[in-house]
Structure 1
């Protein structure tokens, strides 16, 4: 049986090993890592799938911002990476992780402007993500435009640059 637990309760070294195994050791150079920058993840939306004491999957969510061409910032939640142990990738764990994270986002009121970089057929079919609002979004690296997906009533359909959400303490 698979248990879904807060990612913070799992050994960080195990998480990094799973991410390396699922995506390769060069994953830090990907555009998604540049978008989220050094921001801390949203712990309430980050989960691990654990089976018989072994980490078999993770999902992480990050606070990011779209700064439009007028300088107005629009907060978003970036989903990803969704990582599943390669031998388990056809078992539905990724879909279960997404479902748990989206439910947690809804419970926290964080589901009104979400985005990810992923397969449009999969994320559209199962979770309602699409590229309708993202045509004018710029990223700090290459992206296949059809894979830049979003959902939520507050997703900004404006031109602008995605990057980490920076908060300034007063």
Structure 2
């Protein structure tokens, strides 16, 4: 049976090792890592999945900001990474983590503007993320625009740049 617990209660070395196994040791070069620089994960939305005490999955969410070309600013929550032990992928652990994190976002009011970089077929079908309002967003590194997804009532359809939001939410 899978147990979900707060990620900040799990050994961080185990989390880093899982992320390396799930995404490769070069994962820190990805654009999403630049979006998280100088921030801390949002504790209420970041979870670990344990099975018989072993870490089998994690999800993290981060505070980011969209600064529009019109000088407006919109706080967003960056969802990800969602990491599952490679031998356990396709067992529903990632989906369980996503649903729990999105529920927590709803309870805390952080569900009004959530973004991620991911597979549009999966995240649109199961979680309602789309690229409808993100086409004019710029990130601090390369991204395939069709993979830049968002959901929520406050997601703006403006041109602008996404970057870290140093204020940490709990």
Common fold, TM-score beyond 0.5?
yes
Q: Does 1:60 align with 2:60?
A: yes
2 CA distance for matches of 1:74 and 1:166?
Answer: 13
Structure 2 counterpart of 1:31: 31
2 CA distance for matches of 1:38 and 1:21?
Answer: 24
Structure 2 counterpart of 1:102: 102
Structure 1 counterpart of 2:10: 10
3-state SS of 1:112 partner: coil
**1:15-164 matched pairs, under 5 angstroms:** 15-164=15-164
Q: For residues 95-130 of structure 1, what are the alpha-carbon distances to aligned partners after superposition, in whole Å with 9 as ceiling and x for unaligned?
A: 000000000000001100000000000000000000
User: How many residues of Structure 1 are paired with residues of Structure 2 in the alignment?
Assistant: 167
Contact 2:130 2:149 in 1 (8 A): yes
3-state SS of 2:94 partner: helix
Structure 1, unaligned runs of 5 or more: none
3-state SS of 2:123 partner: helix
2 CA distance for matches of 1:166 and 1:102?
Answer: 21
> 1:36 offset after TM fit, Å?
1.8
Deviating beyond 6 angstroms after TM superposition, the runs of 4 or more aligned structure 1 residues are none
Structure 2, unaligned runs of 5 or more: none
Contact 2:38 2:166 in 1 (8 A): no
1 CA distance for matches of 2:81 and 2:17?
Answer: 13
2 CA distance for matches of 1:38 and 1:106?
Answer: 25
> 1:32 offset after TM fit, Å?
0.4
RMSD of Structure 2 on Structure 1 (CA): 0.6
2 CA distance for matches of 1:70 and 1:41?
Answer: 28
> 1:166 offset after TM fit, Å?
3.2
Q: For residues 9-30 of structure 1, what are the alpha-carbon distances to aligned partners after superposition, in whole Å with 9 as ceiling and x for unaligned?
A: 1000000000000001111110
2 CA distance for matches of 1:6 and 1:66?
Answer: 27
